[in-house]
Structure 1
Amino acid sequence: MELGLVGLGKMGGNMRERIRRAGHTVVGFDRNPDLTDVHSLRELVDALQAPRVVWVMVPAGGPTQSTIDELGELLSPGDVVVDGGNSRWTDDERHAEELAAKGIGFVDCGVSGGVWGLENGYALMYGGDPENVARVQPIFDALKPEGEFGSVHAGRVGAGHFAKMVHNGIEYAMMQAFAEGWELLEAADAVTDVREVFRSWQEGTVIRSWLLDLAVRALDDDEHLAALRGYAADSGEGRWTVEAAIDHAVPLPAITASLFARFASRQDDSPQMKMIAALRNQFGGHAVTAAAGGEKGADSPGADVTPPVGG
């Protein structure tokens, strides 16, 4: 199968490689000339045989809107656009309507997997009409993890990003719980090796998980997270989750509290937020901010920069 892929950053670039490893042809476009296969969206569209599928992996909001607008002028009836970024589900409904008026299909896809997705596969949650989803299915199959699970047709347009939004809200709360437990252990004089306590939980406990494994990895890198400032960004999905909960009158006390804890991290150097920042960096390559006097400058790996798409 042929695929056009727009956006070849940390996730998009690895997705291109995983899809190619599965035997598909990928024509990628990125504004970075060191990453791109073609030099414009028009060149990308011209390189694909109709009917085309073009997957968009750019930041949500303006960049996604402008990319879809341009593709709407370049593509033909029968083509399909996939938005695999972290767009809000309400944007999906508008994009689907705009493209449908031109005979172009639309699928929204929440993607989770971060910098580990190339080897482990990406969890995929997608929404759209069955015929449009079927067109993209070979690519979904190439990207998903091995085995029975890891992808789902969640429902109509918007369902994929809504499901990914809820996933990220749960992620906020889980990371917050690990962070609070870590800070309490660090504060207790009786506990002399917090890192090994965390490591001991990796087997035989009900909280063993990939996030726990990543917490241990982060503590192996920096036992007391001294090099990190206690600051953690939020990339939008946590806020949207809380807003959706209000709209649906669904109580979300844990997720809401974890979002507010991130806001608190911007007021003081929070020890809990050091763990949150470390975990986000471990699983998604998200930026971290160095502690005062630390070595991570604006140009170094892990410096405070724009977060990657997805994850």
Structure 2
Amino acid sequence: MEHRTLGTSDLKVSVITFGAWAAGGWMWGGTERKDAIKAIQAAYDNGVTSIDTAPIYGQGTSEEIVGEAIKDLPRDKVQILTKYGMRWDLANGELAFQSQDNQGNDIDIYKYAGKDSIRKECEDSLRRLGTDYIDLYQIHWPDPTTPIEETMETVAQLIKEGKVLQAGVCNYDAEQMKEANKYVQLASNQVPYSMVKRDIEADVVPYSIENKKAILAYSPLERGLLTGKMKPGYLFSEGDHRAGLYFFKDENLKRTNEFLEKIKPLADEKNASLSQLVIRWTVEQPGITIALVGARNAEQAVQNAKAIDVKLSQEEINFITEHLNKLELVKA
């Protein structure tokens, strides 16, 4: 496994990082706890030492699963990336959206990153994870109701106290990153990035490269779209958020699969799956530091980890990108 340093920090993380959103079950049609734990442990056995989670994923379930999975591992060999700033148990800040928990109960999700809230969230996360420090603590979404200064100064204090090692943000634009960095040394920004979602190349990527900030790309397989396994007519299980996304409309599944068929010979030549080829292409893009990839079971986790074994020349990267640039998805 390859490891890369986050920005100017001393924190090194595995280029393939385990994304534990689906492990929490929430918005993914449920989860099988034992399978999720085995997936994380199998990933670790294959060099994936970094795990990204969040309290909101299953309303604590994902963090608990991560804590269970790593409890017998040497703590200094694992990097825990978690988040704060999305509350389902407190009506404060900006109402982000309404949802249902894993038991089917209605919940309201708020973006809130006030000082006292962050401190409570941090203590709750430490307890669920079974650890006394968090390697990378990230605001989950911008909170328009709380000054960035208040939020970031609180995290800076947590770093002084040793409860957090490094500060990160998620879903911030370049201006928000610039503001946040005034109050705490930012290591990274976690943002959506995939072959079919490359808008960060306009501002976040140039800013991050110039200012030596890491980019953690989430959903590099676009929630399964880029695996080549989803065909027109695909049926999602109840509670799966993907059913309403334009990426998964039949026409877009058709167009995406036509593109994937064009690059499949290269995957075959590398003795790799399409998913592995896509992941490797992603982490070779300018400014992209690591890719967060989820897995529901051990087999998926192992296959994700092996994406790092795929070696691409610049000519091969260009070949993929040239075909990709001809792909147009229907957004309506």
TM-score, normalized by the shorter chain, greater than 0.5? no
> Which of 1 and 2 has greater Rg?
1
Query: Structure 1 length normalisation: TM-score?
Result: 0.31
Which structure dedicates a bigger proportion of its chain to strand? 2
Query: Structure 2 length normalisation: TM-score?
Result: 0.30
